[in-house]
C-alpha cells in the first residue's frame, strides 16, 4: 500500500499535531531519513505515553522515568507503533525536534535537513515485522513525494548522535529493511 502525502501530511493515517517543530531554514531541504526507537516507560509498549511526550502533555507523576523527561520539547515527524500503525505529529515540510545535537557527513543540526521516523521499540527487543513493512512504505512514499529524498540515506539516531544516542539499537535489522524495500516498487535506495 502506497502512502499518499499532501501538503506535508500523510493521508489516511492518524494525525496528532505536536507543537514541537518550527520552519526549516529557508535553504534546507530534507535529504536524510533518521530512524529512532522509543518506548515509554522504557521497555514498555502502548499506553499513549509517546503521544503525550510529543504533545507536551506527559504527566511527570505517572511514572518515575517521566519526571526526568516531561520537560523535554521533542517530536518526530511520525511514529510507527508495534502494530504497524502510523501517527504523524509534524508536517514533512517543517523541522521536527527529533535529533537533538547531531551531525551527518560534516553537517550539524540534522533536524534542519532530515525526516525523523520513530519506531515503538527498544535497542534490545526485536521490532515487529509490520513495523519494517510500514517503514519501507514510508520510505518509498517520502522518496516519491520529495525529490530531495529520492536517494536519501537512511540512518539510525545512533549514527548522527554517537555516544549520546543508541537507538534504534542492535535489535533493529537493517538487512530486513533492505529486503522489504527491495520488494516494493519505487525509489528504495538504502
pLDDT tens digits, residue range 11-65?
999 999 999 999 999 999 999 999 999 999 999 999 999 999 999 999 999 999 9
How would residue 190 be classed by pLDDT, with cut points 50, 70 and 90? very low
92-101, 114-123, 164-173, 181-190: least confident range: 181-190
With a cut of 80, say whether residue 188 has pLDDT above it. no
Give the list of residues 6+ apart from residue 153 with CB closer than 8 angstroms, or none.
32, 33, 104
Backbone angles phi, psi at 21, to 5 degrees: -160, 170
- List the domains of the chain with CATH numbers: 15-40+74-182 (3.40.80.10)
What is the arithmetic mean of pLDDT over 147-175?
97
Cβ(91)–Cβ(8) below 8 Å = yes
List 34's β-bridge partners, or say none. Answer: 116, 155
What is the arithmetic mean of pLDDT over 74-101?
98
Considering the candidates 26, 101, 118, 151, report the single residue annotated as catalytic.
Answer: 118
Q: Which of 49, 131, 23 is nearest to 85 (CA)?
A: 131
DSSP string, 84-128: S-EEE-S-TTEEES-S-S-EETTEE-GGGGEEEEEEE-BTTBPPP
Query: pTM for the whole thing?
Result: 0.96
The pLDDT assigned to 2 comes to: 72
What is the arithmetic mean of pLDDT over 1-17?
93
How would residue 184 be classed by pLDDT, with cut points 50, 70 and 90? confident
Q: What grid cell was written down for 20?
A: 514541537
User: Catalytic annotation on 153?
Assistant: no
Q: Would you call the peptide bond into 34 cis, given omega within 30 degrees of 0 as the criterion?
A: no
Alpha-carbon distance of 63 to 55, in angstroms, equals 17
Tell me if residue 22 falls in helix, strand or coil.
Answer: strand
What is the arithmetic mean of pLDDT over 158-174?
97
Q: What percent of the chain has a predicted confidence (pLDDT) above 90?
A: 94
Amino acid at each position: 500500500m502506497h502512502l499518499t502525502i499532501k501538503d506535508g501530511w500523510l493521508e489516511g493515517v492518524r494525525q496528532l499535531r505536536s507543537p514541537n517543530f518550527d520552519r526549516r531554514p529557508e535553504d534546507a531541504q530534507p535529504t536524510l531519513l533518521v530512524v529512532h526507537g522509543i518506548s515509554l516507560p522504557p521497555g514498555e509498549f502502548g499506553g499513549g505515553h509517546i503521544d503525550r511526550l510529543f504533545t507536551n502533555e506527559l504527566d511527570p507523576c505517572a511514572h518515575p522515568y517521566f519526571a526526568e523527561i516531561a520537560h523535554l520539547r521533542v517530536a518526530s515527524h511520525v511514529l510507527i507503533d508495534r502494530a504497524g500503525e502510523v501517527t504523524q505529529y509534524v508536517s514533512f515540510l517543517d523541522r521536527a525536534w527529533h535529533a537533538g545535537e547531531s551531525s551527518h557527513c560534516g553537517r550539524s543540526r540534522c533536524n534542519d535537513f532530515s525526516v525523523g521516523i520513530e519506531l515503538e521499540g527498544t535497542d534490545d527487543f526485536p521490532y515487529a515485522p509490520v513495523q519494517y513493512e510500514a517503514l519501507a512504505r514510508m520510505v518509498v512514499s517520502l522518496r516519491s513525494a520529495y525529490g530531495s529524498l529520492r536517494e536519501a540515506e537512511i540512518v539510525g539516531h545512533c549514527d548522527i548522535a554517537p555516544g549520546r544516542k543508541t537507538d534504534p539499537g542492535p535489535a533493529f535489522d537493517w538487512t530486513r529493511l533492505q529486503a522489504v524495500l527491495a520488494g516494493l516498487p519505487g525509489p528504495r535506495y538504502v
